[in-house]
A and B are shown apart, each in its own frame.
Chain A
Amino acid sequence: MKFWISAAIVLAAAVAAAVTVKNEYFFFAGYTVLVFVTLATAWNILGGYAGYVNFGTPAFFGLGAYTAAVLFKAFAMPLVLQILAAGVMSGLLGLAAGVLTLRLRGIFFAIATIALVVIMETLFINWRFAGGATGLQLLRPPPMPPFESYIKMLFVLAVAIAIVAVAVARWIEQSWIGRGLRAIRDSEEAAECTGVPTLRLKLFACTVSGALMGTAGACMPMYLSFIEPASTFNLNYAIGALASPMIGGTAHYLGPVIGALILSTLQQVVSVTISSEMNVLVVGVLLVFFVVAAPEGVLGLFKKWFRTSSK
């Protein structure tokens, strides 16, 4: 209950900000942060809970974005339907990729997911209708009321999508499914021998994770009024999605949220105040710091402080 009240407050605050705050840049930057919150949360379902490290985030994110763009170009489909379709397509990609790769373990699975990104990018480079290598210019329709600007509307939508993603991750984490996924991470053999259908659970996690990544990408074409393969299937999405849970903590559903808020906000600040090249450095420095000094992330640090101070 507390979770849903908090979620409602966050959403209401986002709407209130969109109606009152005039400066559009705030929403422009905030949107990117929210995309990473969703990506990191989705990544953590397979990577954090089940321990299957996925470098394929751009494949799922990009397929979501292209699904939305193609549907918009072909049928002028409304945005909400674009988002749903993007989720379905990326979920299907997750399922298919899972069938092919989830029998692999450890580093081999990670390598296979990188291949997935290359395959998807090549596919869209060669698809003329989707703009090919040069990309596709998209003309935004007018925003839905009460929003007077499209970016503000996208911002509120991104908040809603992030809340859905976090709610799904939270449900998985606290249910028997989450316990089964953790059993898989700890010992796959032992999990099988205690009745956990490991392959089925991994497929489920991969599908849900992929679908959420797809929805995170769905608004991207409208956000930029443009889509092209190189930036859509950019490995920075993979790094951000993976680094945020590491920074925030993988054990709790709030870990990726905290990690993404810290990392992406810092990146936005750095790219405005210093340079956009420097923001990649931020990821590197933070990642090294947390892997060495706080392997359980910000949440792990809090737990440690809480324990020592209560003694």
Chain B
Amino acid sequence: MVPDILKIEGVTKQFGGFTALNEVSLSIPQGERFGLIGPNGSGKTTLINCVSGALRNEAGRILFDGEDVSRLPAYQRTRRGIARSFQIPRPFASMSVVENLVVPLEYVVHRGSLRGADTRGEALAILRGMGLAAKADTPANQLSQVELRKLELARAMAARPRLLISDEAMAGLAPNEVDEVLAILFDLNRAGITIIMIEHIMHAVMRFSQRMVCLDAGRIICEGAPDAIVANPEVQRAYLGA
């Protein structure tokens, strides 16, 4: 049996009197392509903010590779192997594209042994894999929308994660661009990286995921294979609007 890389146990997150996540529990085995769907405000981004460390959950535990990480700051979790992209791209705007990737290479991969490390070369290799090599020395604030999404993924990859959380990496992209980003994510998964995909583009997340979960109002309402999820009456009522 494949061990779980991520185990979420009874995680609750409140904002004042509002319960954004209500005892959510999930297990994700190593190497899985996992889809997370749900209507706006259902708690998807809150959940991955709790996993990546941007928010602290009030109750419950988050186990990464068997270790409870729910009290660790975000940068420690990144160093352990959790990386994410942001729904609204947050590039390091004052830097070039390649320098954006040098940050995680310096702070995660080659931390403490920077001397002799060819961070630029490694960053360029990652950019080549993403089809961004031609833009390596472009300032990050001059990229197009699809290039920014790719940069988000490339920067996340530069931290050499074992778990990648892609938060709506395809929102607002044209169909051919969606295919491009999907192909990148499939490649990364083949290289052994577990991927959690949050997405509203149903055909993309259906094609990508081996297993899916639908959140509604901070609770998991359905869990299973993509076909079973879309057929589920509760998912149809809460999300798909059938």
**For window 176-205 of chain A, which residues contact chain B by CB distance below 8 Å?**
176, 179-180, 182-183, 185-187, 189-199
Question: B103–A191 contact, CB under 8 A?
Answer: yes
Across the interface, name the chain B residue whose C-beta is closest to A176.
B106
User: Separation in Å of the A283 CB from the closest CB of chain B?
Assistant: 26
Question: B86–A179 contact, CB under 8 A?
Answer: no
Question: B106–A189 contact, CB under 8 A?
Answer: no
Question: B95–A197 contact, CB under 8 A?
Answer: no
Interface range for B: 20 to 34
Specify which of B90, B93, B111, B155 lies most central, judged by the most chain A CB atoms within 10 Å of its CB. B90
Question: A195–B86 contact, CB under 8 A?
Answer: no
**Is A251 part of the contact surface with B, judged by Cβ < 8 Å?**
yes
How many chain-A residues does the 8 Å CB contact rule pick out? 20
CB contact under 8 A between A190 and B107, given known A179-B99, A195-B79, A195-B159:
no
Q: Kindly identify which residue among B53, B114, B158 contacts A192, using a CB–CB cutoff of 8 Å.
A: B53
CB contact under 8 A between A186 and B83, given known A194-B104, A194-B107:
no
Question: B104–A195 contact, CB under 8 A?
Answer: yes
Specify which of B86, B95, B103 lies most central, judged by the most chain A CB atoms within 10 Å of its CB. B103
**Is B75 part of the contact surface with A, judged by Cβ < 8 Å?**
yes
Question: A251–B94 contact, CB under 8 A?
Answer: yes
User: Separation in Å of the A296 CB from the closest CB of chain B?
Assistant: 11
**Is B92 part of the contact surface with A, judged by Cβ < 8 Å?**
yes
Chain A interface mostly: helix
Residues of chain B contacted by A197 (CB below 8 angstroms): 73, 75, 107
Q: In whole angstroms, how far apart are the Cα atoms of A109 and B40 in the complex?
A: 33
Residues of chain A contacted by B79 (CB below 8 angstroms): 195
CB contact under 8 A between A196 and B54, given known A176-B106, A180-B107, A186-B95:
no
Residues of chain B contacted by A194 (CB below 8 angstroms): 78, 103-104, 107-108, 155-156, 158-159
Across the interface, name the chain B residue whose C-beta is closest to A179.
B103
Q: In whole angstroms, how far apart are the Cα atoms of A116 and B73 in the complex?
A: 28
Q: CB within 8 Å of B: which residues of A? A: 176, 179-180, 182-183, 185-187, 189-199, 251
